[in-house]
Structure 1
Amino acid sequence: MTDQTPGPARAPLGESAPVDPPSVPARSIALFGTGVWVLALVVSLLVPALHTGPRSWWPWACVTGIALGVFAWGYIRRGRGNAAGA
């Protein structure tokens, strides 16, 4: 037999239930990602096989990742991350 106890309230069929966005630590994520790019740059500069020949662009990819991470961290720090004013 089926249990007729009422469960949590559901939105009518065809309508979406209101969902709050999850809280995301954007500063920590940007800082962690930038740190990973710094680590990748150090490794690519210490290992000659990772920055010579056809892989000569690898350190520049790391530098670009670091620059974008610093930009993102500054953007978030000024309060524009996670749609702060929306």
Structure 2
Amino acid sequence: MGHSHKRRDDRRRARQRSGYRTSAARLPQRHRAVARLMGFEPPAETLSGFNVRKIGEGVMTPTICVDHGGELAELHALPGYTALQTELSPPLY
């Protein structure tokens, strides 16, 4: 093996040891994807339903952070938002 291959392999091993590249197989179960859905509305409704279930199961803090780059009315119109809003107390703003 030439020096350039050895250096490249050494760099790759260093990245892997440092956690630079994390594969999903190495992640703990709590950090893995809940579901993979196509489109926009079905995933929004599924995510809301998942959150409603988790809140109903008694999570420690029923707090949800949403990063939305549009009008607030668009967020309120998402499928499943009403069910999520009624499950949370105090209500979402």
- Return the TM-score normalized by structure 2: 0.25
Greater fraction of residues in helix:
1
Q: Larger Rg: 1 or 2?
A: 1
If the length of structure 1 is used for normalisation, what is the TM-score? 0.27
